[in-house]
Amino acid sequence: MVINQKVRHKIPTVHRRGPLGGVILKMKNEKLSLQRKQLLQSQGDVNTKIYFVEEGLLRSYLIDSNGKEHTYMFSPSGWYIGDSNPPETKCQLFIEALEPSVVIPLDKQVALEQQEKMTLVNRIARLQERVLMLMSSSIIDRYHHFLELYPDLSQRVPQHMIASYLGVTPEALSKVKGDTIRNRKS
């Protein structure tokens, strides 16, 4: 993907300090501690890992050619996060810690071979539900679905990231939240 020069400054860089060392994810089933706003993966990296979130909160997102961030998903404790690219190919997504987090890197190929079928089916079902919802649901329905799927994240994630996940502007999300609060009081 060619990035416009005027938005190149918006693309974060991976901090290769601390537990990530000089080469990202060479460790096998060791825990990685991440600081808030630390990148675990950048768009274009070759990454053969997926991550189990033991503690904290991560998000995956992409930055389009205009510099706009699009949140793909949030992964709180107990969830997996990763890029669906085949092993040894370039990643499409950035993965960032939104809170201090601990993740366990897993070899993507081994994890896919060993992953329980039900876990894979559940992930595919959630992704299909999200795509269909984005295509056909109102902003209000998408916001309520977000609250059901991630009940404790509305207080942990900045509004602009939730808006990005829902495919709306922060202003539209603010209006929906206000309408929801007013309707509850009625």
124 and 181 both lie in a single domain: yes
Q: Tens digits of per-residue pLDDT, 48-73?
A: 788 889 999 999 998 888 888 889 88
As a whole-number percent, the residues of the chain with pLDDT over 90 amount to: 30
Side chain identity, residue 122: N
20 and 98 both lie in a single domain: yes
- The alpha-carbon radius of gyration of the chain (Å, integer) is 17
Output the CA–CA distances (angstroms, integers) from residue 183 to 2, 141, 170, in the order listed.
45, 14, 20
DSSP secondary structure code for residue 139 in this structure: H
9 and 94 both lie in a single domain: yes
pLDDT at 58: 97
Smallest Cα–Cα separation from 8: which of 67, 84, 52, 64?
Answer: 67
Tell me what the mean pLDDT of segment 24-46 comes to: 79
156 and 166 both lie in a single domain: yes
Domain boundary pick from 93, 115, 137: 115
70 and 141 both lie in a single domain: no
Q: How confident is the model at residue 90 (pLDDT cuts 50, 70, 90)?
A: confident
How high is the mean pLDDT of the chain? 77
Domain coverage including residue 178? 116-186
110 and 136 both lie in a single domain: no
86 and 130 both lie in a single domain: no
* Tally of domains within the chain: 2
pLDDT at 8: 38
135 and 89 both lie in a single domain: no
182 and 107 both lie in a single domain: no
106 and 177 both lie in a single domain: no
84 and 7 both lie in a single domain: yes
Q: Tens digits of per-residue pLDDT, 163-186?
A: 999 999 999 999 988 887 777 776
Reported pTM: 0.69
pLDDT at 82: 85
CATH number, domain containing residue 2: 2.60.120.10
Domain boundary pick from 90, 115, 140: 115
109 and 134 both lie in a single domain: no
DSSP secondary structure code for residue 46 in this structure: B
